[in-house]
Amino acid sequence: MNTTHKPIIGITCGEITSKTDPWTAITHGQSQTYINSVIQAGGVPLLLPITNDAGVLCTLCDMLDGLYLAGGNDLNPKLYGQAPLPVTTDYSDLRDMAETILLERALETHKPILAVCRGMQLVNAHYGGTLIQDLYASFPDGLDHDNSNKLKTLVDLSHVIRLQAGSKLAGILGDGEIGANAHHHQAIDKPGRGIVPVGWASDGVIEAVEMPDYPYLVGIQAHPESLIDVEPRWQQLFASFIAAAQQGKR
């Protein structure tokens, strides 16, 4: 079967350390749900290694038709001008560096970008925005944005996202609200330059952003790659991302 016409989508990886054999080498990997979301939408997923070699990363990025900034651990707060709070301990300077290089190259070459959870936060920090380092500490009476983790499920629709009418995202998913899971303890505080919030939880936490002045950049705080079967509208997000990547191949 000839699949060369399908757009290649680079998916950023996380660093995985063996708890049973901590002496072994760190593994670079990502959840199957990210891979499936690309394949189901008609793209070809390519997992991107974590390295500080800018030449390697730029070469890889130039091979791509779209960049998928995946979720994972926290960002180092130095990226948005803050010192880490006691709850912000799970971050990787190497991953931050690698993904920043990939993001900058993708932006330079106008590639479509889909940014999920940590990915959305990275984009915001790159443009000078800030994060709330711990939602519970800042908003103890707000929603539990880590509820899906507590329930140990990927497919929990813990809350809804209210979408901004007339936004790119509302045009993709439809106006109104959409169900979402909750796997995060941080969120965007001050939006970065050109970053426009277009989705909110009922407690006001920013759940989705886009860049109107960029061909295709959408950020989602939830994990829609896990929700396609329980909320099929999320498939439209991945379809739009792959369509934008396909358009860039022409």
In a domain, 194, yes or no: yes
In a domain, 3, yes or no: no
Which residue is it, tokens 């995985």? 16
Give the H/E segment covering residue 113: strand 113-116
Which of these is catalytic: 99, 207, 210, 225?
A: 225
In a domain, 1, yes or no: no
Which residue is it, tokens 């936060």? 121
Which of these is catalytic: 117, 126, 159, 183?
A: 117
Per-residue pLDDT of the chain (250 residues; tens, 9 = 90+): 455 689 999 999 999 888 888 888 988 999 999 999 999 999 999 999 999 999 999 999 999 999 999 999 999 999 999 999 988 888 999 999 999 999 999 999 999 999 999 999 999 999 999 999 998 888 888 887 887 878 788 888 989 999 999 999 999 999 999 999 988 889 999 999 999 999 999 999 999 999 999 999 999 999 999 999 999 999 999 999 999 999 977 5
Which of these is catalytic: 145, 207, 223, 231?
A: 223
Let me know if 104 is a catalytic residue: no
Instruction: Residue 13: give the domain boundaries.
Output: 8-249
In a domain, 2, yes or no: no
Length of the chain (residues): 250
In a domain, 23, yes or no: yes
In a domain, 173, yes or no: yes
pLDDT at 250 (0 to 100): 59
**Continuous H helices in 144-216:** 147-151, 168-173
Whether pTM > 0.85 for this model: the answer is yes
> How many structural domains comprise the chain?
1
CA distance 202 to 162: 7
Let me know if 117 is a catalytic residue: yes
Q: What is the CATH number of the domain that holds 58?
A: 3.40.50.880
Let me know if 207 is a catalytic residue: no
Cα dist. 218→68, 183, 230 in Å?
10, 18, 21
